[in-house]
Chains A and B, each alone.
Chain A
Amino acid sequence: MAELLEFRNVTKVYSRGLLSRTSTTALNNVSLRLNEGEPTILTVAGESGSGKTTLAMLLLGFITPTSGHILYKGQDISHLQGDDRMTFRREVQAVFQDPFAVFNPFYTVDHLLTVPIDRFKLAKSKSEARDKMIEALTAVGLHPQDILGRFPHQLSGGQRQRINVARALLLKPRLLVADEPVSMVDASLRASILETLRRLQRNYGVSIIYITHDLTTAYHIAKSIVVLYRGSVMEAGDVDSVIKNPQHPYTRLLIDSIPWPDINRHWGETEIKAKESELSDHGAGCKFLARCPFAMEKCQTLPPLFRLSEHQAASCYLYEQNPPIESERLSELLPV
């Protein structure tokens, strides 16, 4: 089956400093595949600094990988030109986390919607363009008359974020990268934005890469999940298995830190071993070593992924009795 998107052993290293170069591996040898005929929702989860936003930036072509390749419909996205590039730009859309940062404060919010309409010639006339804008805004639950003609500072974060989703909707994309789209939005609106995303996947066949640290929303919207920590895959698989039965100590910490809206379920039974301020970028071993309550001698070398079941694998020596699986075959674990 044709691939919509493929990550082939992608690594991204950020270097800085002129004399004493220091480098940070933001993404370490990640391989992923999304098929064209099987629209799905894949969650990429992790804390800040886990490389999830780097993954989004790479996929959108904003930065290039240090090694490895990213292919969109079989073509390396760093070599796309002309019409192919325009098609890629239209078909791969993004919704970013911070609804405050994406607006130019000097323009009314209409600008954000009219630019893509003009650029991709989506409307023949001004009134058609306006109808499209109104339709998209209504689809994300906004009153167009309250929005159009306003400046960004006159709108709330939730309203602005929904304008971003509306902008992506306008372009009828094939792949949507949603980087923490609801983390700054109210719980009650969260549901409607997530529902909109899921409708996009079901009805329009859009594949979605949902990047988040919020595992509860991931659980509800996604089919499969990849948990990243400091650029490496910690655990991956079917979203039900990974969230209900997390195996990697890091995934367990993440799930244990979710503030459940349930007063009988106490938050944080497991102690957090190290403060983030005390962590340094350490050597070649497991990235979670410094915080792991089960750290062993052999964790000094990077553990491979061990396959726990058909749809779950964890990169941890606690499971070394299970068969290892090459990181290139990660996608086989992910149901669509």
Chain B
Amino acid sequence: MSNMLNWTVTDTSPDGAMNPVLQVVDLQVSYYTDAGRATALDGVSLTLDPGEKLGLVGESGSGKSTMALAMMRMIKPPGRIEGGRVIVDGVDLTALPDEEMLKARLSKIAYIPQGAMNSLNPVTRIGAQMVDAIRAHDSAASKSDMEERCLRALESVDLKRSVFTMYAHELSGGMKQRVCIAIGILLKPKVLVADEPTSALDVVTQRQVMETIDHVQRQIGAAVILIGHDMGLMAQFVDKVAVMYTGRLMEVSAVREMFTDPKHPYAQALISSLPSLDNKGVFQGIPGLAPALLRLPSGCTFHPRCPHVMEVCKTVRPEIDPLPGGRQVACHLYSQEVAKAA
């Protein structure tokens, strides 16, 4: 592992505060299609402290899943990471050679996929798939040791040890999703990326699965990025919410501030489109449509749908800038407050 040091990035935080466990710096991903180049991630930067839970929300096509895949370096052609860095625990993943990246997956950063139903191998036992994951990283481990680690992981996600010898089709959706979580935590990664881990589950199971993630996350002290569009889940689970639109971050705020006082007009629209038990039958969608990535509007990409649109929004792209209180927003409405904060 000593050669990993070559890609170690020295921490540059001046105040000597807690070192972030994850730094995403100016990440750019494009898909090359017949109709042209679609920029799916356009300069996304994020930092995450150890143990912190971040929610990444946005509509479909906003680049949430691309973000997850890019962090794992699992973008497949015609997609390509065009630039930027993903630094996990001091190691720049984007600079790692492929075989080192294989080692980093699961041990530094693990991915819990959307739709656990489809991510398990139907013809091998659950146990074999788990052992495989350990063996890929630690070929020296003894068989009994690997088995023991798998069984412990299954127990920590509230599954019985007998699941080890079962096949995927013998498990319910919630149990399969838990197996995926167990695989995700096998090597105690520093960052867990969960891409809509409960979107195919029903509410009671969803709650159990989220409680499981919460519990194992505390156990191994990992930071979590929860990707999804369910704001309710975000309100109940995360510490910080990042709102994405057309591959750009629009706002990053602590969960309480995001829900009580969203700043970006898109975040405001998202929050007010949530159903509640008051005003029955009022569906407040967001007017207009999310633009196609191939034909992004100029300036701020939200301007055609924005109720507060100004002249400047049509031509100048707002940068994501810090606001007082540790929030970040990419909107011209706040340019004065941003100037003050700077």
Residues of B within 8 A of A (CB): 59-61, 158-160, 172-175, 199-208, 210-211, 229-237, 255-256, 259-260, 269-271, 273-277, 280-286, 289, 292
Q: How far is the CB of B82 from chain A (nearest CB, A)?
A: 21
The stretch that binds B, out of A7-15, A18-26, A66-74, A188-196, is A188-196
A83 interface residue per 8 A CB criterion? no
Which of A124-132, A170-178, A253-261, A312-320 interfaces with chain B?
A253-261
Q: Which residue of B lies closest to A184 (CB)?
A: B199
Cβ-defined partner of B174 (8 Å) among A198, A268, A276: A276
Find A276's partner among B172, B199, B274 (CB 8 Å cutoff).
B172
User: Is A277 part of the contact surface with B, judged by Cβ < 8 Å?
Assistant: yes
Write out the residue numbers on chain A whose beta carbons fall within 8 Å of the beta carbon of B232. Answer: 216, 258-261
Q: Across the interface, do A243 and B277 meet the contact criterion of CB distance under 8 Å? A: yes
- Give the docked Cα–Cα distance between A213 and B206 (Å): 11
A187 and B273 contact, CB distance less than 8 A: yes
Whole-angstrom CA separation of A261 from B236 in the bound complex: 7
CA distance A243 to B278 in the complex (A): 12
Please tell me if the beta carbons of B60 and A254 are within 8 angstroms of each other in the complex.
no
State A192–B206 Cα separation when bound (angstroms): 24
For residue A220, which residues in chain B have a CB less than 8 angstroms away from its CB? 275, 280-283
For A143, give its contact among B174, B230, B274, B292 (CB under 8 Å).
B292
Chain A interface residue bracket vs B? 35 or more
CB contact list, A1-50 vs B, under 8 A: 46-49
How many Å lie between the Cα of A190 and that of B273 in the bound state?
Answer: 9
In the complex, A186 has a CB within 8 A of chain B: yes
B237 (CB) vs chain A CBs: closest residue: A259
Task: Find out whether the CB atom of B285 lies under 8 angstroms from the CB atom of A261.
Answer: no
Interface residue ranges of A201-240 to B (CB < 8 Å): 213-217, 219-221, 240
State A263–B253 Cα separation when bound (angstroms): 14
Is A114's CB within 8 Å of the partner chain B? Answer: no
Residues of B with C-beta under 8 A to A217 = 275
Inter-subunit contact A189/B235 (CB<8 Å): no
Is the pair A157, B207 in contact by a Cβ cutoff of 8 Å?
Answer: no
- Contacts A259-B206, A261-B235 given; does A187 touch B230 at CB 8 Å: yes
Tell me, yes or no, whether A158 is within 8 Å of chain B by CB: yes
Is the CB of A275 closer than 8 A to any CB of chain B?
yes
Instruction: Establish whether residues B236 and A277, one from each chain, have CB atoms under 8 Å apart when the complex forms.
Output: no
Which residues of chain B are near A156, meaning CB under 8 Å? Answer: 60-61
On whether the beta carbons of A194 and B283 are closer than 8 Å, the reply is yes
A289 to chain B, nearest CB (A): 16
CB contacts (< 8 Å) of B61 on chain A: these are 156, 158
In the assembled complex, which residues on chain B have CB atoms less than 8 Å from the CB atom of A258?
203, 232
CA distance A159 to B276 in the complex (A): 25
Cβ-closest chain A residue relative to B199? A184
**A100 (CB) vs chain B CBs: closest residue:** B115
- Contact indicator A257/B203 (Cβ below 8 Å): yes
